[in-house]
Structure 1
Amino acid sequence: MGLFDFFKKETIEEINLSEKLEKIGYFDLIDNFEKKKYIKEKIDFDFADDSNQYVGKGWLTFPNDYYISSVYSLTENKNGSPTSDFRAFEVWASSLFRGEFLDYLKSAKIVFERNNIKLEYKDEIFDENTKEEIHHKVTVNEKEYIIFSGQISRDNIGQIMKNYLDSFRNILNDIIKRQAKEFKVILVTQAECVMFVLLQQDMLDDFKTIINQTKNKLEE
């Protein structure tokens, strides 16, 4: 191999985002080889796709199980979570706020239990005493969490939705901490939504390095 071929090979590897994720063990929980192959192909396609003038290329996407299964005629998991890799799942702040908090806990439960982390929830309480103030609580693994308590208005609705995202992530990470598991839930932005990603602590630094080469933003 000549010097030019060596650099050419490095350049090809540089743009192959899915292989970087493969090397850090990101796809290790996917037991369907064919499904994993198509997930990786979709990730690389989206990363290089510049057809959307408003979004552009350079995004790491997390293809959901419904999409991969339907497009490639594979068996859908149908387990209550859209996750295809048992690490990442989509979260919409507006949906968390508007009554779907337990639905997202159900999605997180699938991911957590695949990683041997217990997640059981019950007793969601949404108390809307007045039109201007709400109190929202839930019990997870026998601990009561306050999701949000305070006033709401048109002027602060955006901040409240952000508070809901932060509260959801903080609850999940507290669940992990109470079980002394070496994991962390992080937030990764997409062009049009937010993903929650569960990673082993020893995988996190390498994952950050990969994210730094994309347009995504990561928040711990």
Structure 2
Amino acid sequence: MILCPMPRMILIVDDDPHIRQLLVFALDKAGLETIEASDGEAALALASERAPDLVVLDINMPRMDGLEVCRRLRAESPVPILFLSSRDDEIDRVLGIELGADDYVVKPFSPREVVARVMAILRRTAAHAPSVETGRDLAQGRLRLDLDGWRALWDRTDVPLTVTEFQILRLLVSMPAKVFSRDAIIDRLHGPGFAITDRTIDSHVRNLRAKFAREGGGDVIETRAGIGYRLGACAGA
């Protein structure tokens, strides 16, 4: 198992103590620090107090479910979120991604799979952490990506993105003339062979479009039927 190069803090949120214990053991073994919450209110309090690097969040919890926790976290922070769900249907998965989650795992799950997905998200986050260099930007027309600050701007207005959304947009802006298939986007984000569906990529793209449309960005990503996605022409306007 690949160990994380430096301790990162993971908040595990699940009302099942057995699942929390299982994940704590697996993530600790991978060199990650963990904190736990058994309900949504405790999770929000811990997230505010401890500022975790990633949240593993169960959808089906009493009183405040994971979807509401995700909404409230997203209102305050871009912290990466990995959903756990016992409902194996595409609607729940797509809804989770559209709310701002970065990935999901369906119960029953393998702890090794959870660790692998957590590590993949953390690697993407680390790739965009602020560095000692400054001024590294990617820009096309009115769209600018601040790579050091992990910020997306449209006409100088910040557009808050999740880790995965930023990664997808960065890929498209870096090669604006290229059309990327869904498989190519998955390979760039996660590496070849990573189990994620085309529908998940479509959900991230819809979310990106909606966020930029609210700022007057129009269709920032263009769909090429039967092929994939590329940067929209309006980004260069």
Do they superpose with TM above 0.5?
A: no
Larger gyration radius, structure 1 or structure 2? 1
Structure with the bigger RCO (C-alpha within 8 Å, sep 6+) is 1
Question: Aligning the two structures, in what range does the TM-score lie when normalised by the shorter sequence?
Answer: under 0.3
